[in-house]
Amino acid sequence: MGLSLSGVSISGRMNARYVSAIQPGEVWVDRSPADLRPWQTIAMSDDGTKLFVADNGAGTGLVYRSLDSGANWSQTSLPATSWRSVTSSDDGARLGAVGSNSWIWLSDDSGSNWYSNNQNLYTRTGIATNSTGTKWISIRKNLSIMIRDYGETWTQVQPGSANWECCALSEDGTKLFVAARAGLLWTSGNSGGSWTSHESSRQWYSVASSSDGVKLVAAANGGGVFTSNNSGTSWSLSLNNTGVLSCASSADGSTLIAGSSSGTVYVSTDSGTTWTPRVLQVSGGSFNSVAVSSDGTKFAACSSGFTNQRRVFTSTL
C-alpha cells in the first residue's frame, strides 16, 4: 500500500518568544507549524534541515514534515491515527512511522511517498533505524518485536510479551534495546537471538543508544534518566527528575538530551555525568520527544499540552 504527499502546506513559526536561552551561544527557536497539535514524536536529519513531527490525537493525529529547518511545513499523506513514533536516517530520506491501530509505515524519499508492511493493524508504540536506514526495529504493544534489513521482510524476535513502549538499536543492528511501561529493560547482543532483562520495573518511556551500542540512556517517568556504559549490563541514575518523558543520544553517546513533563529540556555533554536545563517553555507543556544529531550539535524537541504549549523547537549547541 502506497501513499503520496497530500500537498497541504503550512508556514512555520520562527521566534524565540516562548524560549529562554540558558547557556551563552545557545538559542532555542520556535519552529512550530501553524497547526498547533499535541505533538508526540519528532525526528530530524543529521544536518537539521529535515524535520518530521506527529501527534497522537485520539484517532486524528497527523504527520508533518519540513525540508527547510522548520520554516515551512507540509502535512504528509499518512492516514490519521494516534501516532506514537517516527524515526529518520541521518540524511532524512528513509523514514518510519507507527501508531495505534496502524501498519508499519516507511518512506524512502523524505516522506513524499509511503508504503506499509500490510500486516494486521496493531497498536505499535516504537520504531527506530540506524544512520543509513538499513537496519530497523519496531515494537507492538503487548506482543512482538520486529526487526528487518532494508528491502527485506520483517522478522519477529522477542523476549516475551510485555507492554512494550520504546526501542533502539546499534548501527550494525546486532544490539537491540527495548523497554516496557511497568516493566523491565531488555537487551540483545545477537540481533534478537537471545535476550537479557535489566534494571527494575519502571515506567520506561524512552531509550536511546550510541552507534556502537555501548552507551545507553533511558527515561523512566517517575524514576529519572538512567545511563549505561556497558551495553545495558548495569545502569545508574543519571538525572533525578521524576517527570522525564523522552531521551536521545549522539552517535558517540557523549551528548544526551532529555525532555520532561514540566516544559524543561535537559542536555548533558559528558554522557550523563552532569545535566543542564536548556529551555523553559511558558506555562509548562510536556516534551514527549527529543532528538539530537550524530555529532551532538543540533537538537529538536516537541511538546504537547494546552494549545499554546504545543510546540516544536530546534537548537544548535
Q: Which CATH number does 2-316 carry?
A: 2.130.10.10
- pTM over 0.75? The answer is yes
* Residue 317: band (very low, low, confident or very high) from pLDDT cuts 50, 70, 90: confident
pLDDT over 80 (residue 208): yes
Nearest to 157 by CA among 141, 173, 139: 139
Lowest-pLDDT range, 24-33, 104-113, 168-177? Answer: 24-33
Is-contact 207 221, C-beta < 8 A?
Answer: no
Q: What is the pLDDT of residue 17?
A: 37
The set of cell numbers assigned to 17 is: 518568544
Residue with the three cell numbers 543509513: 132
Q: Spell out the domain ranges in the chain.
A: 2-316
Q: What is the pLDDT of residue 58?
A: 86
Q: What is the pLDDT of residues 160-203, one digit of tens each?
A: 778 999 999 999 999 999 999 999 999 999 999 999 999 999 99
Is-contact 219 206, C-beta < 8 A?
Answer: yes
Bigger pLDDT: 306 vs 130:
130
Q: What is the pLDDT of residue 24?
A: 31
Instruction: Compute φ and ψ for 251, nearest 5 degrees.
Output: -65, -35
Q: What is the pLDDT of residues 134-161, one digit of tens each?
A: 999 999 987 789 999 998 889 999 787 7
